[in-house]
Amino acid sequence: MKKLQGKIAIVTGSGRGIGQAIALKLASEGASIVVNDLDSGPTDDTISKVHALGSKAVACLGDVTAPDFGTRIVAAALETFGGLDIIINNAGYAWDGVIQKMTDEQWQAMLDVHATAPFRILRAAADYIREASKKEKTESRSFNRKVVNISSIAGLYGNAGQMGYSAGKAAILGMTKTMAKEWGRYQVNVNCVAFGLIQTRMTQPVGSGDAIAKIGEREVKMGIQPEFIEFMNKMIPLGRGGTPEEAAGAVYLMCIPESDYVTGEVVLASGGLVM
């Protein structure tokens, strides 16, 4: 029996990178997945891979910062699969700059994607979770639902040049601890996984086929200076950045029954790096 057989999961930003790895890890253990990305190409790729694992998937395209997105993605889970058991708030990106060069637009964009978007998704799911929990208790059925919010060591310790990103990633720590207290009565575990240096297009060396993320009408350049990556690798006790699959493994731990008595916690998946 697979550990997540019959479970229904939302994974935002799951068209590529860490999000795709999370979706595939959950699907490999039997979960049905609501896949999200900005474009149909990456989303279709993840759905195809989920199907190859023998699980079900449906797309919910769009920008997680859109005011109606939370309602849409929750509806996709309920209307397609008839329920919702796992919410992974993963979508995000970095738009960096030192404070004297950071615009209001940059600042707000980071808060919107890393804090406001997860808030709206959780708010949209609240009615279903409350009613489902009440019904299950009257029927003497009880099982734990899971929320895993994604943060970063930048949210825990700060990082020069990432005022907006760090603020957004810090905000979701407070949201996690608050929701653990609000939703504990409904048998929902709410935890946070904070990543260190994970090998994705966002952290690839600048100059090695620079990736550009198109966010609405904006184009945001991805990548890190090679010398900084070399420095970080020396600081990481395990000696290297993690893979998307290793990052997904940390999230998976917070989704399985073995973590049913863990809530309101922040788990570091950083290879031992503490900034």
Residue ranges covered by each domain of the chain: 8-201+242-269
3-state secondary structure of 230: helix
Q: Is the pLDDT of residue 203 over 90?
A: no
The number of helix segments (H) and strand segments (E) in the chain equals 9, 9
- How far are the Cα atoms of 31, 153, 217 from residue 196, in angstroms, in the given order? 26, 6, 29
> Would you say residue 210 has pLDDT above 60?
no
Alpha-carbon distance of 264 to 273, in angstroms, equals: 21
Note the pLDDT tens digit of each residue in 148-176: 999 999 999 999 999 999 999 999 999 99
Amino acid at 191: N
Percentage of residues in the chain with pLDDT exceeding 90? 81
157 counts as catalytic: no
**How confident is the prediction for the chain on average, in pLDDT?**
93
* Per-residue pLDDT, 216: 65
- Residue 205 has a pLDDT of 63
**Closest listed residue to residue 87, CA positions, set 36, 149, 26:** 149
The CA-based angle 275-117-265, given to 5 degrees, is: 45
Query: What string of DSSP letters covers 120-149?
Result: HHHHHHHHHHHHHHHHHHHTT----EEEEE
Alpha helices in the chain (DSSP H): 17-28, 40-52, 69-81, 104-111, 117-138, 153-157, 163-183, 226-235, 244-253
Distances (CA, A) of 20 to 81, 219, 268: 20, 22, 20
Fold entry, domain 8-201+242-269: Rossmann fold (3.40.50)
**pLDDT tens-digit map of 91-114:** 999 999 999 999 999 999 999 999
Centre a 10 Å sphere on the Cβ of residue 224 and count the other Cβ atoms it contains. 17
0.95 exceeded by pTM: no
From the list 93, 128, 157, 165, the catalytic residue is 165
